[in-house]
């Protein structure tokens, strides 16, 4: 958009631009800058317009983008052009991801590179390597307390190793996802050490206070994220002689985004990682980016403006790179992280579907799909050209972030229902085979979340220990049922490393003084590669899970209607144990797949005459996963316990 004020500013900036920039051939850069500058200027003005040095900061912003564009390797610039043309590339059903810790999966970055075959064998073509940067010794919040945004943790490798990994992955057609921990740094980061030494410039990178007045005011409305290990949201720093805001752990200092220098630094870091060959960047804890007295300091309007500005700027330098929003917040709030508009107010193209994740776990515990159906019904429709990251487990805990109104409309009482779920997954409930561990218990509010590996939560640990073959069968069915959901729902399925082999809880974290207080470590395994060999031996648990997943992934990639064009219809059915939805082709309405899932431990039936146009018009119906016709008796489709179908007429 052309608008005089922003255009004049842009001209001034370009007139003053450093000679090393103006001498380059930056055609693509300038066309993109021209296209986005109105947005960039408006957002920058809105966030930082009251700063005295606003014009200089705007100059630095543009120069940062230009300098990173100059550094962008030619092959990545070419890839940008390809993706500009094929702009729906990340909506494809061909994408299937896995998230992992480098250390737990491959030991080192090189070790991970040596195992790339494993992904290809399973069909994984997108890998989220969780934080690999330098962290404080000991407590590092699993890598999310970063001490240097450009230096690799020396225990696992070097920057060259990561560049090499990116090249090898690209050769194999595997996308690389890396984190940028935008909300905070560790207390050992250079900025923090300078702040401690009393430098005002760096104290302004954080929220620091001389006394408790402002902190106490904030505490009135801020919840606690880690109530057991890091109560409160501020930490006294002895060296600095000031309080500092630390929403997560006391060694994670929240960055102050009301300071434009912080914004520009972080943009520079984002573009740096884009230039190292990351295809997708996961922006960590984005809901927390803006702090406002009197609020929960989550999901503030300015947090969205910051993300819009990051997106607008990244599109200028590295338009082929897309963002994942890690915002584990209420359904109505999550949806906003895609942006308000796909073109002029875009934020992150991809967001964690924590709602679906938590609802799936509800269905597991209740053995019915009532809340799942209700929750998905009230999930707002997302923007076009935006997609979900669908997952069952990740490195974090499971939070029961359902909407209370949804719980009420299923005739459950919210508090009691949440209590039941916690009891169920921590094995306190009589009928439960789950072996989860509580996380983040808050004695003041009664809240709690859940840790545990997929297999242990699904009852496999119990079944193996009690040597109960039927229970083993059930647990495996359940594990596959859950995967069938994230593979068909619409969005990018993100498996969690180890789940493809049925990895159980790992209690060894209890021996480590830096980990024992954080139960999330129970589900952050080191892969036992000898055990993993079992995936090649029919009959083993590893084989049963792995080979089924491998097949499911291969089949998903062939089903075009599984691509995410907001082409899903939830189908209301009478049987509360079933979760049923249809996927259709946005242009060819006759191409449809009916997904049916039974969350009960008993067989269930679905009357195909009652599901309108989704019922079969012609025979026979085929389950695409098994390649067989399912059992139908007089128009009633029979779905065995914990079973799913991907049905098509063929
Ligand atoms: C993100 C990470 C989580 C971490 C938190 C604080 O939510 O996923 O593991 O504890 O950010 O960095
Ligand atoms: C909260 C945060 C999320 C983080 C998690 C870690 O849910 O919203 O960002 O991953 O805590 O437990």
Would the CB of 440 count as within 6 Å of ligand 1?
no
CATH architecture assignment, domain 184-254: Alpha-Beta Complex (3.90)
Residue nearest to atom 9 of ligand 1 (CA): 396
Compute the half-sphere exposure of residue 47: CA atoms within 13 Å on the CB side of its CA.
29
Take residue 639 and report the two structure tokens written for it. 């779905």
Task: List helix spans (H) across 142-226.
Answer: 159-171, 190-196, 200-203, 213-219
Ligand 2 centroid from CA 263, angstroms: 22
pLDDT band per the 50, 70, 90 thresholds, residue 342: confident
Region 105-131: mean pLDDT is: 98
Would the CB of 141 count as within 6 Å of ligand 1?
yes
In the structure, which protein residues have their CB atom closer than 6 angstroms to any atom of ligand 2?
225, 285, 326, 328, 396-397, 399
pLDDT in tens, 256-265: 999 999 999 9
Other residues' Cβ atoms within 10 Å of the Cβ of residue 320: 22
Ligand 1 centroid from CA 355, angstroms: 17
* Ligand number nearest to the C-alpha of 447: 2
Give the separation between CA 291 and CA 643, rounded to whole angstroms: 45
Would the CB of 312 count as within 6 Å of ligand 1?
no
Assess whether the previous peptide bond of 240 is cis (omega < 30° from 0).
no
Q: Check residue 619 and give its pLDDT.
A: 64
Would the CB of 284 count as within 6 Å of ligand 1?
yes
423 catalytic, yes or no?
A: no
Ligand 1 centroid from CA 390, angstroms: 18
User: Which atom of ligand 2 is least distant from the CA of 284?
Assistant: 9
Give the separation between CA 181 and CA 479, rounded to whole angstroms: 31
Q: Which residues, 6 or more positions from 467, have their beta carbon under 8 angstroms from its beta carbon?
A: none
What are the DSSP calls for 324-373, one per residue?
A: EE-----HHHHGGGGEEETTTEE--SEEE-HHHHHHHHHHHHHSS-HHHH
Give the separation between CA 343 and CA 245, rounded to whole angstroms: 35
- Continuous segment of H or E residues that includes residue 253: strand 252-254
184-254 and 567-648 have identical folds: no
Would the CB of 254 count as within 6 Å of ligand 1?
no
326 catalytic, yes or no?
A: yes
CA nearest to 481, candidates 454, 456, 503: 454
Query: Could you tell me how far CA 477 lies from the centroid of its own chain?
Result: 25
Would the CB of 406 count as within 6 Å of ligand 1?
no
Q: Check residue 445 and give its pLDDT.
A: 83
Ligand 2 centroid from CA 225, angstroms: 7
Q: Which residues, 6 or more positions from 36, have their beta carbon under 8 angstroms from its beta carbon?
A: 312, 313, 315, 316
Orientation of helix 541-558 relative to helix 469-488, angle to 10°: 20
Residue with tokens 């952050």: 524
Give the separation between CA 533 and CA 410, rounded to whole angstroms: 44
pLDDT band per the 50, 70, 90 thresholds, residue 193: very high
Beta pairing partners, 98: 127, 495
Would the CB of 491 count as within 6 Å of ligand 1?
no
Residue nearest to atom 9 of ligand 2 (CA): 285
Task: Determine contact, residues 567/583, Cβ cutoff 8 Å.
Answer: yes
Residue nearest to atom 11 of ligand 1 (CA): 285
Ligand 1 centroid from CA 580, angstroms: 33
Give the separation between CA 629 and CA 650, rounded to whole angstroms: 10
User: Which atom of ligand 2 is least distant from the CA of 440?
Assistant: 12
- Continuous segment of H or E residues that includes residue 426: none
Give the separation between CA 241 and CA 258, rounded to whole angstroms: 22
Would the CB of 248 count as within 6 Å of ligand 1?
yes
> Is the per-residue pLDDT at 170 higher than 70?
yes
Q: Which residue has the higher pLDDT, 445 or 315?
A: 315
* Ligand number nearest to the C-alpha of 400: 2
CA nearest to 433, candidates 358, 504, 528: 504
Q: Check residue 597 and give its pLDDT.
A: 98
Q: Of 326, 396, 397, 403, which one is the catalytic site residue?
A: 326
What CATH number is given for 93-182+259-560 in this structure? Answer: 3.20.20.80
Query: What percentage of the chain reaches a pLDDT higher than 90?
Result: 93
Q: Is the CATH code 2.60.40.1180 the one for domain 567-648?
A: yes
Ligand 1 centroid from CA 256, angstroms: 18
User: Which atom of ligand 2 is least distant from the CA of 328?
Assistant: 8
pLDDT band per the 50, 70, 90 thresholds, residue 109: very high
Give the separation between CA 324 and CA 309, rounded to whole angstroms: 15
What are the structural domain ranges in the chain? Answer: 93-182+259-560, 184-254, 567-648
The top-scoring range by mean pLDDT among 226-230, 542-546, 618-622 is 542-546
Ligand 2 centroid from CA 285, angstroms: 7
Residue nearest to atom 7 of ligand 1 (CA): 285
Residue nearest to atom 5 of ligand 2 (CA): 396
Model's pTM, two decimal places? 0.97
Q: Check residue 618 and give its pLDDT.
A: 61
CA angle, 543 then 650 then 600, to 5°:
50
Would the CB of 226 count as within 6 Å of ligand 1?
no
Region 171-187: mean pLDDT is: 98
Q: Of 161, 284, 474, 542, which one is the catalytic site residue?
A: 284
User: Which atom of ligand 1 is least distant from the CA of 326?
Assistant: 7
Would the CB of 326 count as within 6 Å of ligand 1?
yes
Ligand 1 centroid from CA 209, angstroms: 24
User: Which atom of ligand 2 is least distant from the CA of 439?
Assistant: 12
* Ligand number nearest to the C-alpha of 248: 1
Residue 575 burial (CB < 10 Å; 0-12/13-18/19+)? middle
* Ligand number nearest to the C-alpha of 254: 1
Q: Check residue 199 and give its pLDDT.
A: 98
Ligand 1 centroid from CA 409, angstroms: 32
> Is the per-residue pLDDT at 617 higher than 80?
no
Residue nearest to atom 7 of ligand 2 (CA): 328
Mean pLDDT, the chain, as a whole number?
96
């Amino acid at each position: 958009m052309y608008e005089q004020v922003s255009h004049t500013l842009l001209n001034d900036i370009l007139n003053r631009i450093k000679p090393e920039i103006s001498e380059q051939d930056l055609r693509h850069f300038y066309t993109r800058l021209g296209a986005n500058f109105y947005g960039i200027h408006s957002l920058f003005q809105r966030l930082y317009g009251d700063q005295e040095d606003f014009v200089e900061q705007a100059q630095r912003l543009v120069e940062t983008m230009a300098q990173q564009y100059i550094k962008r390797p030619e092959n990545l610039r070419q890839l940008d052009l390809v993706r500009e043309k094929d702009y729906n590339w990340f909506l494809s059903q061909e994408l299937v991801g896995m998230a992992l810790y480098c250390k737990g999966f491959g030991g080192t970055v090189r070790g991970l590179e040596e195992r790339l075959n494993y992904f290809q064998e399973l069909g994984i073509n997108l890998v989220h390597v969780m934080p690999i940067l330098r962290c404080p010794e000991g407590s590092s919040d699993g890598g999310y307390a970063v001490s240097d945004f450009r230096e690799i943790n020396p225990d696992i490798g070097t920057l060259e190793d990561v560049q090499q990994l990116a090249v090898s992955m690209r050769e194999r057609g595997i996308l690389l996802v890396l984190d940028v921990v935008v909300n905070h740094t560790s207390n050992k980061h250079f900025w923090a050490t300078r702040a401690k030494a009393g430098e005002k410039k760096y104290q302004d990178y954080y929220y620091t206070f001389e006394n408790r007045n402002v902190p106490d005011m904030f505490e009135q409305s801020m919840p606690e994220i880690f109530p057991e290990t890091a109560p409160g949201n501020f930490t006294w720093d002895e060296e600095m002689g000031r309080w500092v805001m630390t929403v997560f752990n006391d060694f994670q200092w929240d960055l102050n985004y009301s300071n434009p220098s912080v914004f520009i630094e972080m943009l520079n870091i984002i573009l740096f990682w884009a230039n190292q060959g990351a295809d997708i960047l996961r922006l960590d804890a984005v809901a927390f980016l803006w702090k406002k007295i009197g609020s929960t300091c989550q999901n503030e309007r300015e947090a969205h403006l910051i993300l819009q500005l990051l997106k607008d700027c990244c599109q200028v330098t590295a338009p082929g790179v897309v963002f994942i929003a890690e915002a584990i917040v209420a359904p109505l709030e999550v949806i906003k992280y895609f942006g308000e508009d796909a073109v002029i107010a875009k934020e992150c193209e991809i967001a964690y579907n924590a709602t679906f994740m938590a609802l799936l776990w509800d269905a597991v515990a209740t053995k019915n799909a009532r809340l799942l159906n209700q929750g998905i019904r009230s999930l707002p429709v997302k923007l076009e050209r935006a997609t979900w990251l669908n997952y069952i487990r990740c490195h974090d805990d499971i939070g029961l972030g359902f909407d209370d109104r949804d719980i009420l409309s299923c005739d459950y009482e919210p508090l009691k229902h949440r209590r039941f779920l916690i009891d169920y997954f921590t094995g306190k409930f009589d009928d439960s085979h789950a072996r989860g561990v509580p996380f983040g218990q808050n004695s003041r509010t009664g809240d709690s979340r859940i840790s545990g590996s997929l297999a242990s939560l699904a009852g496999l640990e119990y079944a193996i220990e009690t040597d109960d073959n039927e229970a083993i069968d059930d647990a495996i069915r359940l594990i596959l049922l859950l995967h069938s959901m994230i593979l068909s729902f619409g969005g990018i399925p993100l498996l969690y490393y180890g789940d493809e082999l049925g990895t159980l809880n790992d209690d060894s974290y209890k021996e480590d003084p830096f980990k024992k207080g954080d139960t999330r470590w129970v589900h952050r395994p080191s892969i036992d590669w000898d055990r993993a060999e079992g995936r090649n031996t029919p009959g083993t648990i590893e084989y049963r899970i792995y080979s089924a997943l491998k097949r499911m992934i291969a089949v998903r990639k062939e089903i075009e209607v599984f691509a995410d064009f907001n082409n899903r219809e939830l189908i209301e059915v009478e049987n509360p144990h079933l979760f049923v939805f249809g996927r259709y082709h946005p242009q060819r309405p006759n191409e449809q797949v009916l997904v049916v899932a039974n969350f009960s431990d008993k067989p269930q039936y679905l009357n195909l005459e009652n599901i309108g146009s989704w019922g079969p018009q012609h025979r026979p119906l085929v389950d695409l996963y098994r390649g067989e016709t399912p059992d139908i008796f007089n128009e009633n489709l029979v779905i065995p316990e914990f079973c799913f179908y991907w049905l098509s007429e063929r």
